[in-house]
């Protein structure tokens, strides 16, 4: 209960006000314009001003100064704390190195680390796709149970016409916008709903697989199978691959709650989420690329053999990238071990 | 200080200083979200209008279809940005979307630090789960059962939404006019007030200027009686009594204290050394 301070509140405030104001103005400057807006000497002043205010706050609390003063000092401390202990370190790394590392190493590694979930997602997507395809080939009316007839008939007609007319730039842009909005949205939702024990992701995977299978089958029964095949092969590896990856990420997210191992469920969820975020980002980037290809290449009037060759090569490239990229070469491993 | 309310979160800094953040509740956050919706879809709507107007103006030319279609592609991209990118970019860079800025709240990590790109991306990706089944019911349920009003996205990203204190110094409470010796005749040298009494009097003294004369008198008499009786201190004006008691309790023994609160026989000499520069 002893009064720690030998000063009255007013005398204390008057004495310290100058340095509080200084800290306040530095805080404001860096929250509004970023830390880089501060001059070199201002940056070096910041930590000591902050520590002084910390001491002032402790003293004010111990001396039982009135609530508004303590609240003011708390506000100052909180703001400065946020600036000093913010996530700056990561931002200052060399940008291009970070980007290269993310896409050549971190992303494929993260996918391989979760290979069980990815395998499960592949099954949950492609098995319903095959079932939808086979059932529709045996009985085309099955497609109408999965997708509305009003959508399927014009679709089949469109593919039957072929791609000789190509697409003009305007329509290409519109479709690219639509593919980004629709497909990336689906992939992100497919990941997010994995939080419910993976059920949301599983549902999206099965539903999309079944629908795509049924559409493929229906268009094939209407005699345009070769055309839709040519259309899909261009962007399919990226697009379907990305759906599987985001679904697999969602399944991992769900599984981290179901089986947290030796962590609490919340800790397991949080660390898994941080781990697999790069997979989701990769899937989104793949879908944006797929949208460009789908809008401007897949429906273009380029001859079929070229489309098949390019699409096939892209497929192997994507698979090789996910399976091989970012592995340590045999020469690199011993050097790493020596350190 | 009073015990922290349960809507406060204590943050300990590496300097072992503890400060409290006030959590933003569901109502404030919902309002911020509404503001964000208006901003986002307002921008999308403006883009759509521009596209429509350009299309109308272009009706005579042959190329009109191309421009209109390309325009609708841009509108769809804007819609995508409104749903998935807007929150992530603003929160990662400044910790607050436009709506959060308007409502005076901010996203921080559960350790009280600003959030980075990962946290911003995660908490806003998981919006899709929080928004289920409709009207953010999952999010509200999650906020109701977690101690920091966290929706599912906050739990996954390890974040919370707080109301930062506004940084403004209040003037210290002072006895004015200074006490006359006659007033202090019956006041004991040592005035001991416990934390609750002190805080109650302090709150009252800060509020008294906004109160009517009669209300001020009424409030002061509730507590002035018992305190005066205990200290054996009498004063005709209960509000003035509280001010004098508070002044002595707070300032006695401190350097630069006004004479009214100063002890006649000094038990402790005020230090010459100044602990705070």
> Is A3 in Cβ contact with B165 (below 8 Å)?
no
CA nearest to A257 within chain B? B156
Cβ atoms of A202 and A260 closer than 8 Å: no
Residue A245 confidence (pLDDT): 92
Q: Cβ of B230 under 8 Å from any chain A Cβ?
A: no
Contact A16 B277 (CB under 8 A): yes
Closest CA to A272 of A281, A263, A285: A263
Q: Which of A20, A75, A181 sits opposite B166 (nearest CB)?
A: A75
Is A74 within 8 Å of B19 (Cβ atoms)? yes
CA distance B13 to B115: 16
* pLDDT, average across residues B90-96: 85
Minimal CA–CA distance to A325: which of A104, A32, A46, A97? A104
Q: How far is A22 from chain B (nearest CA, A)?
A: 13
B 85-144 → A contacts, CB under 8 A? 94-95, 108, 112-116, 118, 121-122, 125-129, 132
The two most distant CA atoms of chain B are separated, in Å, by 100
* Contact between B215 and B231 (Cβ < 8 Å): no
Please state whether beta strands B159-163 and B106-109 pair in parallel, antiparallel, or not at all (unpaired): antiparallel
Which of B17, B108, B125 is the closest to A82 by Cβ?
B108
What is the token pair recorded at B149? 């009003």
Task: Give the pLDDT confidence of A233-259 residue by residue, as tens digits.
Answer: 888 888 899 999 999 999 999 999 898
Residue B264 pLDDT: 44
Task: Test A15 with B68 for CB contact under 8 angstroms.
Answer: no
Cβ contact, residue pair B126, A195, below 8 Å: yes
Interchain CB distance below 8 Å, A8 and B276: no
B199 touches chain A (CB under 8 A): yes
Q: Residue B159: its chain A contacts at CB < 8 A?
A: none
- At B11, which helix (H) or strand (E)? strand B8-12
Query: What would the two tokens of residue B65 be?
Result: 């279809």
Over residues B267-276, the pLDDT tens digits come to 444 444 444 4
Indicate if the pLDDT at residue B100 is higher than 80: yes
Burial of residue A85 (CB within 10 Å: 0-12, 13-18, 19+) is middle
Residue A95 CB contacts under 8 Å (≥ 6 apart), including other chains: none
Q: How many A×B Cβ pairs under 8 Å?
A: 207
Burial of A67 (0-12, 13-18, 19+ CB in 10 A): middle
Q: How confident is the model at residue B115 (pLDDT cuts 50, 70, 90)?
A: confident
Pairwise CA distance, residues B111 & B13, whole Å? 9
Coil vs helix vs strand at B35: helix
Q: What is the pLDDT of residues A137-181, one digit of tens each?
A: 888 888 888 888 888 888 777 777 777 666 677 777 888 888 888
Percent of chain A with pLDDT over 70: 91
User: Residues A77, A83, A86, CA angle at the centre, nearest 5°?
Assistant: 120
pLDDT, one tens digit per residue, over A255-304 is: 998 988 888 999 999 999 998 999 999 999 988 888 888 877 877 777 77
Partners of A181 on chain B (C-beta within 8 Å) are 76-77, 79-80
**This model's pTM is above 0.80:** no
- Please write the tens of the pLDDT for every residue from A82-130: 888 876 645 555 667 777 788 888 888 888 888 999 999 999 999 999 9
| B172 close to A (CB below 8 A) | yes
Average pLDDT, stretch B45-55?
Answer: 83
Domain boundaries, chain A: 12-91, 96-324
- Six-digit token string for B4: 């922290």
Kindly determine whether residue A16 and residue B169, on different chains, have CB atoms separated by under 8 Å.
no
Q: Is ipTM over 0.85?
A: no
Judged by CB atoms closer than 8 Å, whether chains meet at A6 and B65 is answered as no
Model confidence pLDDT, tens digit, residues B220-258: 888 888 888 887 787 888 888 888 888 877 776 665 555
């Amino acid at each position: 209960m002893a009064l720690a301070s030998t000063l009255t509140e007013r005398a204390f405030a008057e004495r310290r006000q100058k340095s509080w104001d200084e800290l306040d103005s530095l805080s404001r400057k860096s929250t509004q314009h970023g830390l880089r807006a501060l001059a070199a000497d201002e940056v070096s002043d910041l930590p000591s001003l902050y520590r002084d205010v910390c001491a002032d706050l402790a003293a004010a609390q111990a001396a039982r100064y009135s609530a508004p003063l303590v609240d003011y000092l708390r506000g100052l401390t909180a703001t400065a704390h946020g600036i000093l202990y913010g996530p700056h370190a990561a931002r200052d790394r060399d940008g291009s190195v970070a980007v290269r590392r993310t896409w050549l190493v971190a992303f494929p590694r993260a996918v391989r680390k979760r290979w069980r979930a990815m395998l499960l997602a592949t099954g949950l997507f492609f098995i319903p796709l095959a079932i939808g395809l086979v059932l529709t080939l045996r009985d085309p009316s099955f497609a109408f149970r999965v997708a509305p007839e009003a959508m399927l008939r014009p679709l089949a007609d469109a593919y039957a016409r072929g791609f000789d007319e190509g697409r003009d730039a305007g329509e290409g842009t519109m479709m690219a916008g639509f593919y980004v909005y629709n497909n990336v949205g689906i992939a992100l939702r497919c990941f997010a709903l994995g939080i419910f024990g993976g059920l949301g992701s599983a549902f999206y995977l099965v539903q999309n697989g079944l629908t795509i299978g049924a559409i493929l089958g229906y268009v094939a029964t209407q005699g345009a199978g070769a055309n839709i095949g040519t259309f899909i092969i261009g962007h399919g590896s990226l697009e379907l691959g990305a759906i599987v990856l985001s679904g697999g990420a969602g399944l991992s997210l769900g599984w981290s709650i179901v089986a947290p191992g030796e962590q609490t469920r919340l800790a397991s969820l949080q660390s898994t989420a941080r781990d697999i975020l790069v997979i989701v980002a990769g899937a989104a980037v793949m879908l944006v690329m797929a949208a460009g290809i789908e809008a401007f290449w897949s429906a273009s009037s380029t001859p079929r053999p070229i489309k098949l060759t390019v699409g096939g090569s892209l497929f192997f490239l994507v698979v090789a990238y996910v399976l091989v990229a970012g592995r340590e070469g045999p020469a690199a491993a011993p050097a790493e071990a020596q350190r | 200080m009073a015990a922290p309310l349960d809507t406060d979160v204590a943050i300990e800094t590496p300097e072992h200083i503890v400060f409290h953040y006030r959590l933003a509740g569901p109502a404030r956050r919902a309002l911020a979200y509404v503001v964000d919706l208006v901003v986002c879809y307002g921008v999308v709507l403006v883009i759509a209008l521009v596209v429509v107007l350009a299309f109308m103006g272009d009706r005579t030319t042959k190329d009109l279809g191309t421009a209109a279609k390309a325009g609708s592609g841009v509108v769809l991209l804007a819609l995508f940005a409104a749903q998935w990118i807007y929150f992530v970019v603003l929160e990662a860079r400044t910790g607050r979307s436009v709506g959060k800025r308007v409502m005076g709240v901010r996203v921080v990590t559960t350790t009280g630090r600003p959030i980075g790109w990962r946290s911003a991306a995660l908490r806003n990706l998981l919006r899709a789960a929080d928004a289920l089944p409709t009207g953010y019911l999952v999010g509200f349920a999650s906020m109701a059962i977690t101690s920091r009003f966290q929706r599912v996205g906050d739990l996954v990203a390890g974040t919370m939404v707080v109301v930062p204190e506004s940084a403004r110094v209040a003037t210290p409470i002072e006895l004015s006019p200074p006490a006359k010796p006659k007033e202090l005749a019956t006041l004991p040298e040592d005035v001991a007030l416990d934390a609750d009494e002190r805080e109650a009097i302090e709150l009252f003294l800060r509020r008294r200027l906004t109160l009517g004369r009669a209300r001020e008198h009424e409030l002061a008499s509730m507590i002035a009686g018992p305190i005066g009786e205990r200290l054996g201190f009498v004063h005709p004006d209960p509000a003035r009594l509280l001010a004098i008691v508070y002044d002595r309790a707070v300032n006695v023994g401190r350097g630069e204290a006004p004479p009214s609160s100063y002890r006649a026989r000094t038990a402790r000499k005020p230090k010459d050394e100044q602990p705070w520069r």
